[in-house]
Structure 1
Amino acid sequence: MAANNTANATRLIVAPGTQAARTRRPFGRWFRETGWRHLVGLVVVVFCAFPLVYVLSASFNSSGTLLTANSLFSEISFANYAELFQDPNRPYGLWFINTLVIGVATSIGTVILCALAAYSFSRMRFRGRRGGLMGLVLVQMFPQMLAFVSIFLLMSAIGDIFPLLGLNSSIGLIMIYLGGALGVNTFLMYGFFNTVPAEIDEAAKIDGAGHARIFFTIILRLVAPILAIVGLLSFISVTGDFVIASVVLQDPAKQTLAIGLYQFVSQETAQNWGVFSAGALIAAVLPTALFLSLQRYIVGGLTAGSVK
């Protein structure tokens, strides 16, 4: 009896593997069902990675033109990186610091203001609440190009009274970024705040907690993914902005990387694509590091607020 049980157990263990080996899918069927997805993924990876590889190769080419950089990594030289920090007329290090300060300040301010506004729309009931939400959506329908003239005139008028907030002011530029980011980010946070059960607020109110304590000690911890996403997207958009920054900032010592790097390839001054590529790669290090460190929040932060 014991021997029969052992034999049956052996057959149960071996049979599945043997059967799987006999019914292995042929290559044609595997490619039709699954393999083509790997091929599409490989094509997308090559399509996205080639520009990055080309820019990296151009940064190591000391000729300064893109035509001689067609042969990838035909020359390995760090002359472009050295020139990037040696030109006194183009202070790359100062541009990097200005971009970092403006980006961090805008990201922190955007997260705080949008979180406060989203909490108010999500948890409080007041007159004009529905109209305010609709206004946030409608404002985003108009392109930013329509506001450039009004931004310039407004900053010029404010600068006559408060020079610290007018043209050629980093604080003024931060205020413009904060105003432009409130709409879409507030609505994005509003959807995420609605996924937090209201019973948590009610339980805290029974214990005597007010709105401020509930917001700072409970809600912010539960909505950490969307806070990280809004801060990351705000930082990336600010560091890559060129048009608004070029309208507001005119002093070379206060400009950002997007404006400063343009001077290396503009027709008026010079055309050194090698130095431009080197500067662009260094400027991309910080956003890339932030993106990789916060990538676990991206999917949850962008999709959790879409369905309640």
Structure 2
Amino acid sequence: MTATTLTPASPTPDPAPGRTAGGGAPRRRTARRWFTDVGWRHVVGVVFVVYAVFPIVYVLSASLSDGGTLTGSNQLFRTVTTENYAALADTRFWTWAANSVQIAVVTAVGTVLMGAAAAYAFSRFRFTGRRAGLTTLLVVQMFPQMLAFVAIFLLLINLGQVVPALGLNSKTALICVYLGGALGVNTFLMYGFFNTVPRELDEAAKIDGATHSQVYWTIILRLVTPILAVVALLSIIASFGEFVIARVLLQSESNWTLAVGLYSWVSSLLEANWGLFAAGAVISTVPVLALFLFLQKYIVGGLTAGSVKG
């Protein structure tokens, strides 16, 4: 008697996406199905791009217009001339630009140094009031700095009578105000990033005889370079374009920043020169844009790594 062996039937694989079960030609996706699955994303992307780019194109067109009003720019690039850019040489524009760069750079350096030191202390040391200090920083950063500009104004009036360098119309006083306002949010941002650095590195360095300062300057700061670059970039952008506090504190035209100086050109409706204002606005975006492109590789890593481990 012969035994019959039955081979189990293998399951039929599912057809590939877009193909029929019989292995025929792929089914054509209709335009309606494509729009439902993917197309609507392209439409939303195009709308947001146009929404973001149009003001930039409009200001660029106004800067190249031969008139001093914005009505001549309703037809984009109807006239193209560099008269507005050439006229900047006869103004204090470059003095204001130098003031803005000076204030932004000093504020960024001070913010990075102060914020990194505070974040390192909160991350590595255990001391009384540590949790209360972190909570205070979290609460303080919720309130915009400009809410206190009246108190800052009165404080600097009285402080200037004792220390003139820290009174009104002082770039040093403005830098100190910016440093105080940015310390809370930047410290809390760096604190999360410092926690991602393993403590074993600190312990290994201390075993080799390194002090706390050596560990901080030679090891930790090199490992947290992305967040330092992000904080410096955000600080430069915020201080470079800040207007309210700079307008209140800086009274002399030679000490004005770009934001205050450009506003003075259009503050009077009868003598507003929007072409000159647009030309100055276009030039003022160049250093910030160049710095953003230069530090772009650090931005994503610096903003996301700190959220992994708190």
TM-score of the alignment, normalized to the shorter chain, above 0.5: yes
Rounded to whole Å, the distance in 2 between the matches of 1:217 and 1:23 is 61
**1:193-232 map, 5 Å:** 193-232=194-233
Letter in 2 for 1:188: L
Aligned to 1:263: 264
Please state if 1:286 is matched with 2:287: yes
Task: Give how far 1:157 is off.
Answer: 1.3
Amino acid in the other structure paired with 1:113: M
Deviation of 1:171 after TM superposition, in Å, equals: 0.8
| Counterparts of residues 245-260 of structure 1 (less than 5 Å) | 245-260=246-261
1:159 aligned partner? 160
Calculate the aligned-residue CA RMSD, in Å. 2.0
Please tell me whether residue 53 in structure 1 is matched to residue 54 in structure 2. Answer: no
Distance 1:266 1:143, change over 3 A: same
Q: CA shift at 1:177, angstroms?
A: 0.5
Amino acid corresponding to residue 58 of structure 1 in structure 2: A
| Residue 125 (1) aligns with residue 126 (2) | yes
Note the 1:232-243 alignment, pairs <5 A: 232-243=233-244
Q: Deviations over 1:280-299 (max 9, x none)?
A: 00001001111111122222
**Unaligned stretches of 5+ in structure 2?**
1-18
Normalized against structure 2, the TM-score is what? 0.89
Q: Distance in 1 between matches of 2:300 and 2:137?
A: 23
Distance 1:94 1:21, change over 3 A: farther
Aligned-residue sequence identity (percent) comes to: 60
Alignment-mate amino acid for residue 236 of structure 1: I
- TM-score by length of structure 1 reads 0.90
Distance 1:30 1:284 in 2: 39
Query: Is 2:146–2:245's contact at 8 Å kept on the other side of the alignment?
Result: no
Q: Secondary structure at the match of 2:151?
A: helix
Aligned AA (2:76): L
Which ranges in structure 1 are unaligned for 5 or more consecutive residues? Answer: 1-17
Number of equivalenced pairs: 291
Q: Report the CA distance shift for 1:20/1:101 in structure 2 as closer, same or farther (over 3 A).
A: farther
Residues 241-261 of structure 1, C-alpha deviations (whole Å, 9 max, x = no match): 011111111010011000000
1:24 CA drift (Å): 5.7
Alignment partners' CA distance in 2, 1:62 and 1:242? 28
Shift of 1:270: 2.2
Alignment counterpart, residue 69 of structure 2, candidates 65, 70, 73? 65
Q: Take 2:25 and 2:134, find their aligned partners in 1: how far apart are those partners? A: 59
CA distance in 2 between partners of 1:102 and 1:242 (Å)? 13
Query: 1:268 deviation in Å?
Result: 7.0
2:82 aligned with 1:81, yes or no?
Answer: no
CA distance in 2, matches of 1:254, 1:263: 13
For residue 307 of structure 2, give the secondary structure of its aligned residue in structure 1. Answer: coil
- Which amino acid is the alignment partner of residue 304 of structure 1? A
Shift of 1:307: 2.2
Q: State the AA in 2 paired with 1:155.
A: L
CA apart distance, 1:161: 1.4
Give the whole-Å Cα distance in 2 for the aligned partners of 1:233 and 1:142: 17
- Partners in 2 of 1:21 and 1:300 — Cα distance? 45
Q: Distance in 2 between matches of 1:36 and 1:21?
A: 27
- In the TM superposition, residue 269 of structure 1 has moved relative to its aligned partner by 7.3
Alignment match, 1:307: 308
For residue 148 of structure 1, what is the aligned residue in structure 2?
Answer: 149
The one-letter amino acid of 1:204's match is A
The Cα of 1:300 is off from its aligned counterpart by 1.6
**Alignment check: 8 A CA contact 1:65 1:272 kept:** yes
Whether the aligned pair in 2 keeps the contact of 1:226 and 1:297 (CA below 8 Å) is: yes
Give the Cα–Cα distance (whole angstroms) in 1 for the partners of residues 193 and 114 of structure 2. 15
Give the equivalent residue in structure 1 for 2:12: none
Name which of structure 1's ranges 104-113 and 201-210 shifts more when overlaid on structure 2.
201-210
Paired AA for residue 164 in structure 1: A
8 Å CA contact 2:146, 2:244 repeated in 1: no
Tell which deviates more after alignment, 150-159 or 52-61. 150-159
Distance 2:162 2:261 in 1: 28
Secondary structure of 2:90's aligned partner: coil
Q: Is the 8 A contact 1:119 1:190 kept in 2?
A: yes
Q: 1:31 to 1:213 in 2, by over 3 A?
A: same
Instruction: Evaluate the alpha carbon distance shift between residue 269 and residue 123 of structure 1 in structure 2; reply closer, same or farther with a 3 A threshold.
Output: farther
| Residue 301 of structure 1: how far off its partner (Å) | 1.1
Q: Does structure 1 retain, via aligned residues, the 8 Å contact 2:141–2:185? A: yes
Q: Is the 8 A contact 2:97 2:258 kept in 1?
A: yes
Deviates most, 196-205 or 276-285: 196-205
Alignment partner of 2:132: what SS?
helix
Judged with a 3 Å threshold, the aligned counterparts in structure 2 of structure 1 residues 30 and 121 are, in CA distance, closer, same or farther, namely same
Q: 1:21 to 1:215 in 2, by over 3 A?
A: farther
